[in-house]
Amino acid sequence: MQVTLCMAVFRPNTMPWQKVPGYVIGQLVGAWLGATVVFANYFHAIDIVEGAKGRRTLSTAGLFGTYVVRLAQSPRNLTHTFFSLTICPRPSLTK
89 compared with 57, residue with greater pLDDT: 57
Rounded Cα distance between 5 and 23, Å, is: 10
Residue-wise pLDDT for 45-80, tens only, equals 888 888 888 888 777 777 776 655 555 566 666 776
Helices (H), 1-95: 2-10, 20-50, 75-86
Position 49 scores a pLDDT of: 85
**CB 32, CB 25: distance < 8 Å:** no
93 has pLDDT over 50: no
> Beta-carbon neighbour count of residue 4 at 10 Å?
17
pLDDT band at 83 (very low <50, low <70, confident <90, very high): low
- Where are the domains positioned within the chain? 2-66
